Amino acid sequence: MTITCTDAVDLLGRFRHDEVAAYDAYMRTYRDNEQRRDKEHRSAPAGLVRAALDWTPQDLTGRRVLVVGENGPGDEILTLGCVEDLRVCCKEVVWQCSPKLQPLLRQSFPDMRFISAPEIPRSLDLVVHAWQLIGRFRPSLESFAWTASGLFSPYLHGKQPGRGKTSTPRIGLAWHSEGGKPGKSCDLDRVRGWAAFFGALGKRAQFVSLQHGETSEALQTVQDTIEAARDRYGVAIEEDPHVDTFNDFCGLAAQVAGLDCVVSISTTVVHLAGALGVPGWVLLPDDPIPHWQAGQHVCVWYPTLHPVRHEKAGDWDSALASITQDLEVVL
């Protein structure tokens, strides 16, 4: 399946100079981060040979290669966007992934092996690391296939038995981050802009919580926030009790695939939506983590997503107002 990403292509055409500059700046940051990653935590599993640091795709020809996923599920999903390019080069690719992602990745790539650390086969020739794929296969804006073809091929697949999309648009929401870079959260109970968002869209859409909680206390906080939003904004935000949004990535992917769009901060949910090809808006602070700085007006990794930044530091209200305006047009 491919998706025509007309909006992203149009924005790329209008702001090409800005987008090229943003991606080139990102690649400079990327190279600095690669040196740090290499020093801090990269190594080959016992008994396997790590590829030389300056390896090229041609060096992998005819090899059986292990890719070690890095930095958690969201980053793994992003770097998996390069896996088909890698597979063209190699005799075999095996991916060592987060255990939580393993069922979803096996579902999405049924002809590829996804393993956890204890399962590593000794028949492999070389080890590379997931973020290294960006430098080899996405060195410039033009190396993304969608920028030339206007077509994006989602590479994750969420199986949704039963209910499909409904006549009333369904919008998935994620608003809070427990970790990572500070300033990522756009909390429902603290940011005033949500009032205008729900005021404009509350009667035109259904809202679904994609917010996760790792502990029982965190889950209770999510439920309390949803109840407070109902009282404050007069909207119901649906929770699916059958989906563990922290551990069940197959269930979460199926849930996201059944939505019309998502509005989310920078969290694993938005990586899932982008790799599934679901439209959405990414709420970003004025200084987001580097991979969200690779594009100014477009999301190069997932062209069905729209990055929306603060107009000034801490100004979530302007970001939410921009998303509200966009949604009023498309709903």
Give yes or no for residue 161 having a pLDDT over 80.
Answer: no
* Residue 166 confidence (pLDDT): 66
pLDDT band at 165 (very low <50, low <70, confident <90, very high): low
- How many helices and strands (H and E) does the chain possess? 12, 12
274-to-24, 77, 139, 306 alpha-carbon distances in Å: 22, 9, 20, 10
* C-alpha–C-alpha distance, residues 106 and 112, integer Å: 7
* Residue 180 confidence (pLDDT): 67
Give ranges for CATH 3.40.50.2000 in the chain.
Answer: 170-330
The tokens describing 113, both together, are 């092996």
The more confidently predicted of residues 244 and 95 is 95
* Tens-place pLDDT, residues 121-160: 888 999 999 999 999 999 999 999 999 999 999 999 987 6
CA distance from start to end of the chain: 24
Question: Chain-centre distance of CA 222, in angstroms?
Answer: 21
* Residue 117 confidence (pLDDT): 82
What is the pLDDT of the chain when averaged over all its residues? 93
196-to-7, 129, 224, 281 alpha-carbon distances in Å: 25, 44, 21, 16
* Residue 162 confidence (pLDDT): 47
Give yes or no for residue 1 having a pLDDT over 60.
Answer: yes
Calculate what percentage of the chain has a pLDDT beyond 70. 97
- State the angle between helix axes of 268-276 and 249-257 in degrees (0 to 180), rounded to the nearest 10: 60
Architecture per CATH, domain 170-330, reads as: 3-Layer(aba) Sandwich (3.40)
Q: Are strands 261-265 and 170-174 parallel, antiparallel or unpaired?
A: parallel
Q: Are 109 and 83 spatial neighbours (Cβ–Cβ below 8 Å)?
A: yes
Considering all CA atoms of the chain, what is the largest pairwise distance in Å, rounded to the nearest integer? 61
The more confidently predicted of residues 241 and 95 is 95
Give yes or no for residue 164 having a pLDDT over 60.
Answer: no
Q: Are 132 and 70 spatial neighbours (Cβ–Cβ below 8 Å)?
A: no
The more confidently predicted of residues 189 and 214 is 189
* Tens-place pLDDT, residues 65-95: 999 999 899 999 999 999 999 999 999 999 9
> Pick from 179, 188, 176, 161: which is nearest to 242 by CA?
161
